């Protein structure tokens, strides 16, 4: 008996020690409330997840069981502020799962995903809690709520209904099972893409195969080889920063083909990492879920909570841009074929030729060589350029913090202050590819902004990318696409940083999917404005500003290759919509479906859709399902919004910048997005601005 008691006591002591050692169970000690990344270990996650869920469920139960009549504060606000520990652990884990993952974290994600799905269902399928929400919703006109409170109440009511709160018990049980399996399938899809991306390496031993490649590209490939203990060789990967320069400059057509095919066939090799069966499972589950909730298709369900509202609206919108984009792409293909014909080889233009010959054509038409631009796009200078832009537009200040703990040596941290020196938030930047990071670029919240008990809790934001890495003798020198991407993701960061919402669910980027890209895409408009370029386009060796002649060439080439760019993008948007308007998934074959979709839209064979199905992370893992159109939808908004600056003759116009900050960036989801836009612009957006900017009109 004594041994049993002793064992129990020792067990409790060990649990207590583990809890005391777990940084998630303590207040973060730095003054910004940032995570102590240097102390967090994989073994800390699951205990924190379990305790966070336990605490959150207790809070939810207390709200649902409250004997007092429901009020906005004791029900809606209480739910929104609840789950502090769970938010704390989730934000860190899922940020790192995207940017700094490993096999152990993949196992944790697989274990915790169904648990989190069940926990979410336990909240949204809680009958007593929903009854309180319904009472408030049905009487909302009598509650004396302000606009933000009314928005939150309506949002919660809709979330409960969309989560199955009105279903009978049998259908609720079905929905729980669908949500659990869907979460795991989406997790598998993303992991397969990451594994396939990491597994491919093209090793070149003969330097003759590198013909046409600039020295900087060769050097980067040599250093990648060195990292893999392949000294004296060259390695290319399916990271864009590695293979895109090959597509642009390599005279070795077979190498161009091999790398493009390696990229576009990821997770499509009929092996254990193949995603075709995973897509079938995801689409079956999404379609079942939509039908269960009373919608004809997954797209009908998803779009019901967006600006667009219906699949027809999206399809009609995409067609207005697709038709002129495809027409322009056909003209571009003709021009490139003529250029190929000059080589006298009798070859037909293929997707792996487009980048190479368009680069030659750009040089011929505009005397513009992207490789000659890169020395002026040192990453640190470009980042300082967006900082300076934010300073001129919004009065922000960025102060580097060297003593903050980070999760990888590549990460840098900045304190962001307002013009009056008040704290805006903290920004982490993480820009280089590595095996533990998924491809692409994104912004995440580590801590969300909200106001409570008179305290304005400021956000912590992370910008992540996969840009060209520094080499032994050169810093990171970006290409034009990477410059635009850095500006784009910084726009998301500003949306997250400048928010002034009261409630967490309404702050920052928690907006409709087809509105969230406005703050990011509008930033791209400043990229190539000469006034802005002069602040960041400085030669990495001499510090000299890019010559005006080069800036003028960039301006003149502004609509070059826009047929290709828009066709590649829009074909992915239409493919996404085609997937999510499926009403019957019987006998569903992914390869046949994708082929039929591309044929139906009239896709030309010289261009490959930007994301083929098996690596289309946006729609199968990261929340853009039936939403990839958002980039083009928001482009209409951003083109029109930037026009507000251009009309004044001052791209830094303080009056327009203040209006954009106050009506868009600070407001989050506190009101209907179109109302917010009209408050800024004074009118609905004009789509003509987009077509004109892209040279499609």
Catalytic residue ranges = 489
Query: What b/e string do you get for 333-354 counting C-beta neighbours within 10 Å, with b at 16 or more?
Result: bebbeebbeeeeeeeebebbbb
Q: What is the CA radius of gyration of the chain?
A: 26
Cα–Cα dist 309/241, whole Å: 36
SS (H, E, C) 389-424: HHHHHHCCEEEEECCCCCCCCCCEEEEEECCCCCEE
- Provide the 10 A C-beta neighbour count for residue 384: 15
Residues 298, 626 contacting (CB under 8 angstroms)? yes
The DSSP code sequence of 516-575 is: TTHHHHHHHTTTT-HHHHHHH-B-TTT-PBPPHHHHHHHHHTTTTTHHHHHHHHHHHHHH
Q: Is 16 helix (H, G, I), strand (E, B) or coil?
A: helix
- Provide the 10 A C-beta neighbour count for residue 331: 10
Q: Is 315 helix (H, G, I), strand (E, B) or coil?
A: helix
- Residues with Cβ within 8 Å of 538's Cβ and at least 6 positions away in sequence, in order, are 376, 378, 381, 544, 545, 546
SS (H, E, C) 161-229: HHCCCCCCHHHHHHHHHHHHHHHHHHHHHHHHHHHHHHHCCEEECCHHHHCCCCHHHHHHHHHHHHHCC
The DSSP code sequence of 107-169 is: HHHHHHHHHHHHHHHHHHT-HHHHHHHHHHHHTGGGTT--HHHHHHHHHHHHHHHHTTTTS-H
């Amino acid at each position: 008996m004594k041994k049993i008691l002793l064992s129990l006591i020792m067990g409790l002591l060990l649990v207590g020690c583990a809890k005391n050692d777990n940084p998630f169970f303590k207040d973060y000690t730095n003054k910004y409330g940032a995570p102590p990344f240097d102390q967090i270990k994989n073994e800390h996650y699951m205990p924190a997840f379990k305790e966070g869920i336990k605490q959150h469920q207790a809070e939810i139960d207390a709200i649902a069981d409250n004997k007092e009549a429901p009020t906005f504060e004791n029900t809606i606000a209480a739910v929104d502020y609840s789950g502090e520990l769970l938010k704390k652990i989730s934000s860190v884990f899922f940020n790192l799962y995207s940017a700094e993952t490993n096999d152990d974290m993949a196992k944790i994600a697989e274990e915790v995903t169904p648990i989190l799905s069940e926990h979410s269902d336990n909240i949204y399928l809680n009958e007593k809690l929903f009854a309180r929400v319904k009472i408030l919703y049905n009487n909302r006109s009598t509650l004396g709520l302000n606009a933000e409170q009314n928005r939150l109440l309506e949002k919660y009511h809709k979330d409960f209904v969309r989560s199955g709160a009105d279903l009978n018990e049998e259908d609720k049980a079905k929905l729980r099972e669908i949500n659990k399996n869907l979460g795991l399938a989406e997790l598998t899809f993303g992991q397969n893409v990451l594994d396939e991306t990491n597994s491919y390496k093209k090793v070149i031993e003969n330097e003759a195969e590198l013909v046409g490649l600039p020295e900087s590209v060769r050097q980067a490939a040599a250093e990648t080889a060195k990292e893999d203990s392949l000294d004296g060789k060259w390695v290319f990967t399916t990271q864009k920063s590695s293979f895109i320069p090959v597509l642009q400059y390599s005279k070795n057509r077979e190498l161009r083909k091999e790398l493009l095919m390696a990229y576009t066939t990821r997770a499509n090799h009929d092996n254990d990492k193949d995603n075709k069966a995973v897509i079938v499972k995801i689409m079956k589950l999404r379609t079942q879920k939509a039908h269960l909730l009373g919608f004809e298709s997954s797209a009908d369900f998803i779009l019901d909570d967006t600006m667009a509202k219906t699949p027809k609206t999206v399809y009609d919108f995409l067609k207005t841009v697709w038709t002129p984009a495809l027409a322009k792409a056909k003209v571009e293909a003709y021009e490139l074929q003529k250029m190929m014909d000059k080589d006298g080889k009798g070859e037909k233009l293929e997707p792996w030729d487009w980048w190479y010959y368009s680069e030659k054509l750009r040089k011929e038409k505009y005397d513009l060589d992207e490789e000659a631009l890169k020395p002026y796009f040192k990453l640190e200078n470009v980042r300082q350029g967006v900082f300076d832009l934010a300073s001129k537009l919004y009065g922000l200040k960025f102060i580097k913090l060297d003593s903050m703990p980070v999760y990888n040596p590549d990460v840098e941290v900045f304190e962001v202050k307002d013009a009056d020196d008040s704290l805006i938030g903290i920004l982490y930047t993480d820009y280089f590819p590595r095996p533990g990071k998924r491809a692409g670029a994104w912004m995440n919240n580590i801590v969300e902004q909200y106001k409570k008990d008179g305290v304005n809790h400021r956000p912590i934001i992370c910008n992540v990318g996969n840009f060209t890495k520094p080499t032994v003798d050169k810093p990171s020198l970006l290409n034009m696409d990477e410059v635009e991407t850095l500006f784009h993701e910084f726009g998301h960061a500003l949306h997250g940083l400048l928010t002034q919402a009261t409630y967490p669910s309404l702050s920052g980027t928690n907006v409709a999917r087809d509105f969230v890209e406005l703050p990011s895409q509008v930033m791209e408009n400043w990229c190539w404005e000469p006034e802005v370029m002069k602040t960041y386009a400085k030669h990495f060796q001499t510090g000299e500003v890019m010559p005006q002649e080069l800036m003028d060439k960039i301006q003149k080439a502004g609509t070059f290759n826009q047929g290709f760019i828009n066709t590649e993008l829009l074909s992915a948007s239409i493919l996404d919509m085609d997937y999510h308007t499926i009403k019957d998934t019987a006998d569903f074959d992914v390869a046949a479906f994708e082929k039929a979709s591309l044929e139906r839209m009239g896709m030309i064979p010289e261009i490959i859709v930007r994301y083929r199905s098996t690596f289309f992370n946006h729609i199968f893992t990261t929340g853009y399902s039936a939403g990839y159109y958002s980039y083009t939808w928001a482009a209409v908004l951003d083109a029109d919004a930037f026009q507000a600056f251009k009309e004044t003759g001052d791209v830094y116009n303080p009056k327009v910048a203040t209006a954009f900050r106050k009506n868009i960036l600070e407001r989050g989801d506190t009101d209907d997005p179109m109302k917010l836009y009209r408050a800024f612009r004074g009118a609905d957006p004009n789509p003509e601005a987009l077509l004109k900017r892209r040279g499609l009109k």
